[in-house]
Amino acid sequence: MPHSLSSEGTLEEDSVLTDAPPAIPTASDVEDKGDSGSSPGAAEDHVKAAVKLEDMFDDEEDEEFPSSGVTDGVAQSSPPLTGPPQVAPSANHSDSETMLAFYQRLFPFRYLFQWLNHSMKPSTDFGHREFAFTLQNDAYLRYQSFPTSDLLRKDILRLNPSRFEIGPVYTANPRDRKTLRKSTAFRPLAKELVFDIDLTDYDEIRTCCDKANICHKCWSFITMAIKVIDVALRDDFGFEHIMWVYSGRRGAHAWISDKRARTMDDQRRKAVAGYLEVIKGGAQSGKKVNVKRPLHPHVARSLETLKEHFQQDILERQDPWARPEKAERLLELLPDKALNDALRKKWDAVPGRPSVSKWADIDALAKAGVSKNLDRKALLEAKQDIVLEYTYPRLDVEVSKKQIHLLKSPFVVHPGTGRVCVPIDTRRADKFDPLGVPTVTELLAEIDSWDTEDKKPEPEDAKKLQDYEKTSLKPYVDYFRMHVGSLLKAEQSVKREREDEDPMEF
């Protein structure tokens, strides 16, 4: 959860938020790991000269994506490395050697910098951005900041965190917050609008798995959520630069990088989250969908999308009302007592009747006239609400409401599964396989396998492959690169439009 705010909307004193550590953290610089928040800063003017999209990314080898022979680029405070870390085949995905090898050889620091900086040239969009590190011993370092991607990379190689999170851009360098005389001088300015979807919020309706466990059946809930939320963000709010990222285990995060989204204050973020929130109430609450009629265009559009999934993904694959106590939940959502009594009697007579049949029974008995006072319009609306309750996205809206909320960075490694938090191509959302996402140990093994098998001599002028290009991480990095390129192109276009305006023209 985000840290609390004062009445002026500024961050509370140091008793709530720990200070940024110096270059070498001391005991007073760490805090226990937990949910935390931060704030963003307004975007600064970017590059003055127009840069072509195809020129934004230098394909030449650099120290961010070294080939197997590149060994430099490590912070001076770190012990010198004689070569890329080598990981034994049996290495655990969370051990320090594995993580160091991943950061040194595979993590896309340069593209991450461009994504957060919104420009090729370093600016306060990146320099005043907060990063928070979770170290191997679970110590949690907040208020880290870096002028360039190279310095971020060097500090990550030095500290070797198990993961790190991204916060907002502040009015000042997060490391300098203790030196500011007025607390109001340090406040969030901007951060990507974010959304978080977690399968644990579906535990009351998914039957295949629970808690941290997932399978292909219940991942369809995430697919449905991506489809509904992505369309709403694009069509209803006009956002363009939206990236969905797999959380590494049981969920997905949406990052909206449009400048309008980044500079939203908390009230506007809350309004957007409220617009998208349809499911309300916890596992013990009653009816969770209470939408007005006629349906709002967003809800009506979502219902049409979700109907396609309801039959197969919910009724057939989840079979949510197979057990008698679950069938009672379905009856609670129907508006007619006589119809409910008839349905209950029929289902009690046929134990184990599947949910597909039970759903069909509702209309069959309604048409048979088991209830003389049946309100067919109320029944239709109740069935629509049931479809929404079992398919509509269940958002953790608190993540979206505050600029100061920190969120796990794309491309970090989930410490529990070892899977990389890769982007999801929304054009192929139905094809995304969370269980097929590569783990860090698999990726490092793929590099070793490539280097062992590919011993053919190459022409001197041949491009040397970067390590990520030798692995199954390549399509995800390429997708990220294209997303970043589109964002930078849009930012440059806006800047050129401002520069072309003649302030003396009347």
**For residue 133, what is the enclosing H or E element?**
strand 129-134
- Report DSSP letters for 277-315, one per residue: ----S-TT-S------SSPPHHHHHHHHHHHHHIIIIII
Residue pair 108/480 in contact (Cβ under 8 Å)? The answer is yes
Other CB atoms within a 10 A radius of the CB of residue 96 amount to: 13
Q: Say which amino acid occupies 449.
A: S
Residue pair 368/360 in contact (Cβ under 8 Å)? The answer is no
**Distance between CA atoms of 114 and 107, rounded to whole angstroms?**
14
198 is catalytic: yes
**Distance between CA atoms of 229 and 474, rounded to whole angstroms?**
27
Sheet holding 242-246, edge to edge: 193-198, 251-256, 242-246, 423-424
Catalytic residue among 125, 130, 155, 192: 130
**Distance between CA atoms of 486 and 114, rounded to whole angstroms?**
11
Catalytic residue among 196, 201, 385, 467: 196
Rounded (5°) CA angle 405-285-305:
70
Residue pair 53/489 in contact (Cβ under 8 Å)? The answer is yes
**Distance between CA atoms of 80 and 101, rounded to whole angstroms?**
14
Q: Which residue has the tokens 């310095």?
A: 151
**For residue 140, what is the enclosing H or E element?**
strand 139-144
55 is catalytic: no
Catalytic residue among 64, 150, 198, 361: 198
Which phi and psi angles does 486 have, rounded to 5°?
-65, -40
Other CB atoms within a 10 A radius of the CB of residue 65 amount to: 22
**Distance between CA atoms of 239 and 260, rounded to whole angstroms?**
8
Label the pairing between strands 188-190 and 139-144.
unpaired
Other CB atoms within a 10 A radius of the CB of residue 305 amount to: 14
Three-class SS state of 129: strand
Other CB atoms within a 10 A radius of the CB of residue 271 amount to: 12
**Distance between CA atoms of 114 and 492, rounded to whole angstroms?**
13
Which structure tokens are listed for 109?
């620091």
**For residue 252, what is the enclosing H or E element?**
strand 251-256
Active site residues: 130, 196, 198
